[in-house]
Amino acid sequence: MFENLTTRLGRVLDSIRGQGRLTEEQIAAASRELRMALLEADVALPVVKDFIDKVRTRALGVEITQSLTPGQEFLRVVQQELTATLGGVTEPLNLRAQPPAIILMAGLQGAGKTTSTGKLALWLKEQKKKVIVVSGDVYRPAAIEQLRIVAGNVGVEFFPSAVGQNPVDIARAALAEARKQYADVLIVDTAGRTTVDEEMMTEIAALHAALDPVETLFVVDSMTGQDAANTARAFADRLPLTGVILTKVDGDARGGAALSVRQVTGKPIKFLGVGEKSDRLEVFHPDRIATRILG
């Protein structure tokens, strides 16, 4: 995960690690290299600019303490700014709602919504929550079937739906069932499209209005780099998103999506998908990811 970025940043930091004292020129040179590394990682340009400005300003103003060398100070500044860019603090999943807490899953087709629904269901089940999942994808019977199988595999209840039904009717029926069974959480998977289109947005906005979910999670493929952040913003313009699940991070050597999403959308990343299997879900901790990126 993010190996390319780690290698590039490692080189920049190595170049100043041994320095006794950092001059303005050295900081400028290191900042240029940092900028290149982030652009290569496909981080969105405004995010790169902001990051570099902050690192440079802070590095110039840094007080050299007794305990740290200038190189170490620079590393500390980069680490802190990386953490801030990734969102600063961990934003946990919010289930503070009259049960059942409703989680609405949104995203483009193939982003990993159904897989992530199963992962989230398992994660919640492991916390002793009673979970029901339902699919509102009334266009693709295969999607409903996929969710049924995933639910069976992770051992949570699947509320059946069928092609041709109205997604809002399905969601309302699932909610009634979840209430009847005193479920803790209802996760509603939705139909995606290959691109952001008006029909999909209208449909998911109607679902949102009918369900009033406590969490509306945008699921996005991290391999799409800064495009992931742009798609997230297009959704965030129409839907009050509460967080992001970044998927396929296991195959992403660059890291541009992770670094862009928070700043471009203002929405926190809450989970990472790190594999195809249902247990390959990680809670997103900005500080730990920053440490991992720095190797």
Residues near ligand GDP (CB under 6 A): 107, 109-115, 192, 247-248, 250-251, 273-276, 280
Minimum CB separation from ligand GDP for residue 282, in Å? Answer: 10
69 in a labelled binding site: no
Half-sphere exposure of 3 (CA within 13 A, CB side): 5
Minimum CB separation from ligand GDP for residue 221, in Å? Answer: 8
Q: What is the CA radius of gyration of the chain?
A: 21
**Closer CB to ligand GDP, residue 84 or residue 246?**
246
Minimum CB separation from ligand GDP for residue 59, in Å? Answer: 35
Taking the CA atoms of 264, 46, 281 and 274 in sequence, report the sign of the dihedral they define: positive
**Closer CB to ligand GDP, residue 113 or residue 233?**
113
111 in a labelled binding site: yes
Residue nearest to ligand GDP (CB): 273
128 in a labelled binding site: no
243 in a labelled binding site: no
257 in a labelled binding site: no
**Closer CB to ligand GDP, residue 77 or residue 191?**
191
Q: Which amino acids are annotated as binding site for GTP, given as ranges?
A: 107-114, 189-193, 247-250
